[in-house]
Structure 1
Amino acid sequence: MADSLNDTHDGEILGGIARPADLEGPGATQLGEVPEHQSALETHTHLASESESEHVSQEQAHLSPIKTKPSPPPDSSIVGLIEQADHSAGKLVNLLAQHFPCFRDETRFDGRKVHFLKRAQIFVADLWAAFNGTGYGAFDNIECLTMFADYRVPQMLHTLGVLSYSPPLLYRLRDQKEIPSGHSWEVQLRGCSIWAVELIRREIVRQHPEAEGVVNAVLIDFFLYDLAKERERGVGGGLEVPHHRTRSIWY
């Protein structure tokens, strides 16, 4: 089995049975956490004014407390959440995960919680790309997003020699057998892909300083995904191994 690459941040981990080849670095970028929402709704009963007590008996006042009108629920519409994010890509990702369970892409690895949030991140990235960084797609920190950890980019990274796989994992992929969602192999395939793309970004910036703030994980992911689709059609030499097969709502 290949050496593991582990990245720990505030008790959360991105791990790796798939190992980035010949790349080093301290850890992957993590999105900040949104503070927990605290309800402002409080119930106040048995409140009667002095003027009302002149017309209502004490017994009636006790049995019929004044009811307060509940506060309206917060605006959790998509437009509402975009506006709440205040041009922060990371904040919008966390708001989506908070309000929509289907975006809450979390699992556990080695006893620690891992947040991938792939669909929430790609929603924000697609918004950014569709609006060309303006209007609803204007974000001040789009670079805080990671690549979108699913199945195509790990496959392409392995083909390019960026990721190396252990023999048991290779056998599983070549036999096209399912890897269960949340299995150690699946979590590490996704996690090491995030870190490998971040290391690629850093290497690009090291060799081309003018790329700082221009090249980000989103653009690298778009490129690698499109390249994998081209290779799948036989353009440019094909792909080394099949992509991993996992039944999941998170991809």
Structure 2
Amino acid sequence: MADSLNEMHDGEVMEGTARPADFEGLGVTQLEEVDEHQSPLETHTHLASESEHVPHDQAQLSPTKTSPPPPPDTSIIRLIEQANHSAGKLVNLLAQHFACFGDETRFDGRKVRFLKRAQIFVADLWAAFNGTGYGAFDDIECLTMFADYRVPQMLHTLGVLSYSPPLLYRLRDQNEIPSGHSWEVQLRGCSIWAVELIRREIVRQHPEAEGVVKAVLIDFFLYDLAKERERGVGGGLEVPHHRTRSIWY
């Protein structure tokens, strides 16, 4: 679901802030260009219908006028059925019909689509139904990690992401980073790419993991690990998470 943020070659990284560090012991020492692809709610996302409604005083049409066609059924059940077991299609349908899922911005003149809440909605369906029924998707691997604030924090603690000094100062001082700011976009985008590099390296070292280890599962692990570290289990966290007022997380 997420477009690549920038072309990244042999040590050239997006200006300024966060980048995947060398994966010590994994042999990953440079970034690759991310192909554009369709992927890459908190546990209980509240969905509000955002379709327009005809005012009550206009509901009674004159006998000489033709009644308008009924609006399309955009209930969640209908959207799941329309997706036809495609995680990527359901993510796009959610973003199309619910403005609160339209998580996209611009970076370096390019449109970037994260669609975090739409992706995690699909992932939660998949996990809750154990890949069956409403949670049966043939392409669950197309989802990226869910780019918000906890996973970047955990990736930095593990040494996977390195931050520039100005960004570190902002995080440690717990000052807000505006939504759509270059720092915020890079934190989210580099986290997606870092998790994908981790997934690829796991598969490289363990070919039997192909199709089994997915970005979704790595995200679940890193998020839970961050929450444990926040409680002081396992050594804590290196820096506070970034603070951004946003409906997209």
TM bucket (normalised to shorter chain) is 0.7 to 0.9
1:21 to partner: Cα distance: 1.1
Alpha-carbon distance, 1:188 to partner: 0.4
1:28 Cα offset (Å): 5.5
Given the two structures, how large is their TM-score scaled by the length of structure 2?
0.80
Task: Kindly indicate whether the alpha-carbon contact (under 8 Å) linking 1:15 and 1:192 is maintained by their aligned counterparts in 2.
Answer: no
Q: 1:29 to 1:198 in 2, by over 3 A?
A: farther
Amino acid at match of 1:181: S
Letter in 2 for 1:226: D
Shift of 1:227: 0.3
User: How far apart, in 1, do the equivalents of 2:166 and 2:70 lie?
Assistant: 55
Aligned position for 1:30: 37
Give the superposition deviation at 1:6: 4.8
> Are 2:183 and 1:185 equivalent residues in the alignment?
yes
Q: What do residues 160-186 of structure 1 show as CA deviations (whole Å, max 9, x unaligned)? A: 000000000000000011001111000
Asked if structure 2 preserves the Cα contact closer than 8 Å seen for 1:28 and 1:198, the reply is no
Q: For residue 19 of structure 1, what is the aligned residue in structure 2?
A: 19
Question: The residue matched to 1:228 in structure 2 has which SS?
Answer: helix
SS of corresponding position for 1:113: strand
C-alpha contact (below 8 Å) 2:199/2:215 kept by paired residues: yes
Q: Are residues 1:166 and 2:164 paired?
A: yes
In the other structure, the counterpart of 1:176 is 174
1:138 equivalent in alignment to 2:136: yes
Residue 27 (structure 1) shift:
1.0
Distance 2:102 2:245 in 1: 16
Deviation of 1:29 (Å): 5.8
Q: For residue 133 of structure 2, what is the amino acid of its counterpart?
A: G
1:15 to 1:67, Cα distance in 2 relative to 1, 3 A: farther
1:11 maps to: none
Structure 2: runs of 5 or more not aligned = 8-12, 23-27, 40-63
TM-superposed CA distance for 1:75, in Å, is 1.4
Three-state SS of the structure 1 residue aligned to 2:203 is helix
Residue in 2 aligned with 1:86? Answer: 84
Residues 1:100 and 2:101 aligned together: no
Q: Give the residue type in structure 1 aligned to 2:173.
A: D
- For the aligned residue pairs, the C-alpha RMSD in angstroms reads 2.1
Letter of the 2:151 counterpart: V
> CA shift at 1:67, angstroms?
5.3
Q: SS of the residue aligned with 1:237?
A: coil
Q: Is the 8 A contact 1:106 1:115 kept in 2?
A: yes
Percent of aligned pairs sharing the same letter? 85
**Secondary structure of the structure 2 residue equivalent to 1:231:** helix
Aligned partner of 1:152 in structure 2 is 150
Equivalents in 1 of 2:146, 2:86: separation in Å?
18
What does the per-residue CA deviation read over 1:108-147, in whole Å, with 9 as the maximum and x for residues that have no partner? 1111111000000000000000000000000000000000
Q: How does 1:197-216 map to 2 (within 5 A)?
A: 197-216=195-214
Distance 1:89 1:165 in 2: 32
Larger radius of gyration: 1
Alignment of 1:50-61 (within 5 A): none
How far did 1:213 drift? 0.5
Contact 1:88/1:141, CA 8 A, preserved across alignment: yes
- Give, in whole Å, the separation in 1 of the partners of 2:14 and 2:80: 31
- Normalised TM-score (structure 1): 0.79
CA separation of 1:89/1:18 partners in 2, compared to 1, >3 Å: closer, same or farther?
same
* Residues 5, 107 of structure 2: 8 Å contact kept: no
